[in-house]
Chains A and B, each alone.
Chain A
Amino acid sequence: MSSELISSASQISKAEYQPRVSARQTIGRIWRWVFFGSTALAIVLLGMLLWSVIGPGWNWLSWGLITNPPSRFPEKAGMNPAIWGSIWIVLGSGVAAFIMGLGTAIYLEEYAEKGRFNDFIQTNISNLAGVPSIVYGLLGLVVFVDLMHMGRTLIAGVLTMALLILPVVVISSREAIRAVPPSLREASYGLGATKWQTVWNHVLPSAFPGILTGIILAMSRAIGETAPLLVVGGASQVLWRPDGPFSTFMVMPLQIYNWTGRPHEEFEHLAAAAIIVLMIILLLMNSVAIGLRQHFSRKARW
């Protein structure tokens, strides 16, 4: 059946062939505008979002917002403990996920034998990346907070967030390692290098820009994530920046959530200002990601 179709398609006679140049060009133009429209829609929506946040929040931006602890008086309320909490959560979970995620990726790509078991693990990791974040929060609540008796502390938050971003880190690290050309490995083996020497001296340096981009994008996700920390952190007012792994903590999205729920309208403006601060920090993180990637890819030796 299929072979008939192919043969008949290839035997279009000259009589049947019609150039229809203007029709094809019109169709081409229509698609061009469809694609432009979808891009424009995304940009317009982003613009509206930014406008609705910057409008009410701009006048509430101040140093006090960054340096003060929260307060019931909006004019002197700040999010200093939340900023520090977010920094610790993001750095801590980034480091933990980097170590575990990169290790997993190296094992799966370089050491594990390709086969059913490997496919099984790969499918599961991909599935984990799609699990709703609140599920990680509940997991963290049961395992870290209750079973391991960590309580609602910074360390429990860090480990929960590390689990949340781990699948993304594993997947992006694997992609980066897989993108390293096999000829590089073969050349290394050809010179008598062991597997470890090949991975350490050639594969990892070449894959590093991609790995780094993946981990920083994962950390960007962690900084905006609210649901798991609502369960694991739970506090609504923390006046102090965390001073150790077992101290209570607050993060920026939680602080924003808390302010939007208050009866006084000023707190909604304050929340908008806090969103601006959060977005600036996100932009900075993403710029660092791009900068680092360019820095390391210039060093690539192939």
Chain B
Amino acid sequence: MELLNIRLNRRSLAAITAGTIAVAPFARVFAQEENVITYEPGDGVSDLSGAFEADGSSTLGPLTEAAIEEFAAIAPNVRITNGISGTGGGFERFSKGETAISNASRPIKDSEAEACAAAGISWFKFDMAYDGITVVVSSENDFVSDLTVEELGNIWAADGGVTTWADVRAEWPAENIELYGPGTASGTFDYFNEAILGEREVRTDYTPSEDDNVLVQGVAGSKNALGYFGFSYYEENQDVLKAVAIDNGEGAVAPSIESISDGSYAPLGRTLYVYVNAEELQSRPEVAEFVEFYAATADEIAPSVGYIALHAEAQQETYDHVLGAIDGSIAPDSDSFGQEDATPAA
């Protein structure tokens, strides 16, 4: 109850010295973020019960897990499990109705939307946070500071003809480039390829790993290595990694909280989404309450797990979208996805 009261008076929280361990981490988050939406748990939220599952992107996973952790303090009888099967793996389970929430680091694919439609599952899509896929080299690398999208494309394309740094820019050393990147089940991999390669085939002679820490160590360990992963892994390893600024034709922009959130870090800045099963959202109060809580507090939780919060306007938009989705005044996003056989949940 104590925690609840404090949550209700967030703005005055800075004045309160947070005494309990449970509250202390929150205070840190509040202090740095001016939050837009005030979530107030209504009557009976603590009495809600039920169990449901979330699964999907390992990039967004920690944010959803943090939201679940905080929600558990308000509604202790709602048991939410989160999995990290990857964006694609998450959608596969989502389209079978196994999960109520699917974490995604890229928009749903046509084939995945068709699978949902075939199973009669309609869904809502909510923006939750920003991430910037960060291209990194070792901090020992003293020649690379920026790359154009075209150069990056040549490095990663199967037909790019790049084996040494000198193939990218003539003044760079003729040393072989060692490439590190996420595996094929990863939404980050899909997103990067679409943004950088477009229709070109991705090369296969790179070192893949689903574990981003393996990528961090690989890149940090060699002067001639290059890799990419989510911004949070770069942020935690700035002492051994150097982020490469990306030139999209309008000057090189380095990834940072500002450049990712204002959209200038293009084309690798991206939005992270959660997809919610429309029927579950509208028929189960515990699902609705959690999604509302998540949308309202994502901006406070995001920095504590290394994500970039939505800017105020987008945050408000997501929240309004959630409220409309719950009371049914907004049609499921799957309806407008262009599937004639999509069945909206009444």
Contacts and interface: CB of A to CB of B under 8 A. Distances in A.
B81 interface: yes
Contacts of A234: 55, 83, 85
B228 to A, nearest CB: 14
8 contacts: A69-B72, A70-B65, A72-B304, A238-B81, A239-B69, A239-B79, A248-B79, A264-B236
A264 B83 CA distance: 19
A240 B83 contact: no
B62 A240 contact: no
Interface size class of A (residues with CB under 8 A): 20 to 34
B21 interface: yes
A76 B304 CA distance: 14
Contacts of B53: 152, 235, 248
Interface in A233-276: 234-240, 247-248, 258, 260-265, 268
A156 to B, nearest CB: 13
B306 interface: yes
Given A236-B65, A261-B212, A263-B232, A72 B83 contact: no
B65 A237 contact: yes
Contacts of B72: 69, 239
B61 interface: yes
A39 to B, nearest CB: 32
Contacts of B51: 247-248
Nearest to A64: B21
Nearest to B26: A73
The 10 residue pairs across chains A and B that have the minimum distance between CB atoms: A263-B236, A248-B81, A237-B65, A236-B84, A237-B82, A72-B66, A235-B81, A263-B233, A234-B83, A263-B232
Given A236-B61, A263-B232, A71 B85 contact: no
A151 interface: yes
Given A72-B66, A238-B81, A239-B69, A151 B211 contact: no
Contact of A261 (B68, B213, B237): B213
A146 to B, nearest CB: 9
Contacts of B84: 236, 258
B38 to A, nearest CB: 22
Interface string A134-167: 0000000000000000011000000000000000
A88 to B, nearest CB: 16
A76 B21 contact: yes
A76 B22 CA distance: 9
B146 interface: no
A142 to B, nearest CB: 14
Contacts of A70: 65, 69
B110 interface: no
Contacts of B232: 263
A236 B232 CA distance: 18
Interface in B86-104: 98
Contact of B212 (A69, A151, A235, A263): A263
Given A260-B213, A262-B62, A71 B82 contact: no
B190 interface: no
Contacts of B279: none
Kindly name the residue among A69, A73, A260 whose own CB sees the greatest number of chain B CB atoms within 10 A.
A73
Interface of B: 21-22, 25, 51, 53, 55, 58, 61-62, 65-66, 68-69, 72, 79-85, 98, 211-213, 232-233, 235-237, 304-306
Given A248-B51, A261-B213, A235 B21 contact: no
Given A76-B22, A239-B72, 9 more contacts: A72-B66, A76-B25, A151-B98, A234-B55, A236-B65, A237-B82, A260-B211, A263-B212, A264-B236
Contacts of A236: 58, 61, 65, 82-84
Contact of B79 (A71, A73, A240): A240
Contacts of B83: 152, 234-236
A275 to B, nearest CB: 16
A232 to B, nearest CB: 12
Given A234-B55, A237-B65, A73 B81 contact: no
Contacts of A238: 81
Contact of A263 (B65, B85, B213): B213
Contacts of A151: 98
A74 to B, nearest CB: 10
A149 to B, nearest CB: 11
A54 to B, nearest CB: 21
Interface string A113-136: 000000000000000000000000
Contact of B235 (A248, A260, A263): A263
A144 to B, nearest CB: 14
Nearest to B77: A240
A239 B21 contact: no
Nearest to B53: A248
A73 B304 CA distance: 8
A248 B51 CA distance: 9
Given A234-B55, A263-B233, A72 B211 contact: no
Nearest to B211: A261
Nearest to A145: B98
A265 B69 CA distance: 20
Contacts of B98: 151-152
Nearest to B213: A261
A84 to B, nearest CB: 14
A261 B211 CA distance: 6
Contacts of B236: 263-265
A72 B69 contact: yes
A153 to B, nearest CB: 10
A71 B71 CA distance: 12
